[in-house]
Chains A and B, each alone.
Chain A
Amino acid sequence: RKEVEQDPGPFNVPEGATVAFNCTYSNSASQSFFWYRQDCRKEPKLLMSVYSSGNEDGRFTAQLNRASQYISLLIRDSKLSDSATYLCVIGDSSYKLIFGSGTRLLVRP
C-alpha cells in the first residue's frame, strides 16, 4: 500500500462546479497535512495547510479526518484557472514530507 494515495483523475468539470478530492494516508502518526498545487511544467506550490479543525480560504476548503486517515479538498465555483494537479502532502513525525502522485483537475468553459 502506498503511503499517500490519490485518485489521479482527471476530474473534468464545467466552470462554476464544485469538486472534491480525497487523499488517504497510511501512517497514523502523521503530524502535518497540506495541499499543494502544480501547474503543467511548473514547480509545486503550497495551496493550503490542513488543520484538525478544518480550514477555508476563499473558494477552497480543506478538512482532516484522523480516524479514517484522509484529507480532503473542496473547490467551489471552479474557475478555468483552477486547472492544475493537486498534490496531497503528508508530514511524518520527523517532518519528512510524503507527496501523493496528484489529482489532475480540468475546468472547462
Chain B
Amino acid sequence: DAGVIQSPRHEVTEMGQEVTLRCKPISGHDYLFWYRQTMMRGLELLIYFNNNVPIDDSGMPEDRFSAKMPNASFSTLKIQPSEPRDSAVYFCASSDREDSWGEKLFFGSGTQLSVL
C-alpha cells in the first residue's frame, strides 16, 4: 500500500501566483481531508470530501482557496492568488471510516508551501 501521496513536497512561489497542491488518497478510502499546519494555529481542517463530494468547507479561509475531487483517486487544493500568510505545511489525509476517523486517518507527507 503506497499510502497517501502528495505533490509537490516543497513549493516556493511569489505572492500573487497560483499554487496547486495535489493528493492521491489510499485506494478504497471514501473520505479525503485537506489540513493546514502552522506554528501559530496548529493543524486546521480546511475541507473534507466524501465519495468525491465536498461535505464541509467551513475551514477554507477565503475565496482564494478552492478544492476539487474529480475522481476517487485525485484531489487538488488551489490558492489563487497566493499570499505570504498562506505559507504553511498542507497535509492531505484519507480514511475509510466515518465513525472513528481518529483511528483510521492516514496523512500524506505534506507540501511545504512558501509564498515570498
Contacts and interface: CB of A to CB of B under 8 A. Distances in A.
B42 A44 contact: no
Given A96-B56, A97-B102, A42 B109 contact: yes
Interface stretch (B15-23, B66-74, B93-101): B93-101
Q: Majority SS of interface residues in chain A?
A: strand
Contacts of B110: 43
B77 to A, nearest CB: 16
B45 A46 contact: no
Contacts of A49: 102-103
Contacts of B35: 99
B91 interface: yes
A87 interface: yes
Nearest to B41: A101
Nearest to A32: B102
Interface in A39-82: 42-46, 49
B88 interface: no
A99 B37 CA distance: 10
B43 A87 contact: yes
Q: Interface range on chain B: under 10, 10 to 19, 20 to 34, or 35 or more?
A: 10 to 19
A98 B35 CA distance: 11
Contacts of A87: 42-43
Interface string B82-116: 00000000010000001111110101111000000
A88 to B, nearest CB: 10
Contacts of A34: 102-103
Given A49-B103, A102-B42, 7 more contacts: A43-B91, A43-B109, A46-B105, A91-B100, A95-B98, A97-B105, A101-B43
Interface of B: 35, 41-45, 56, 91, 98-103, 105, 107-110
Interface of A: 32-34, 42-46, 49, 87, 89, 91, 95-97, 99-102
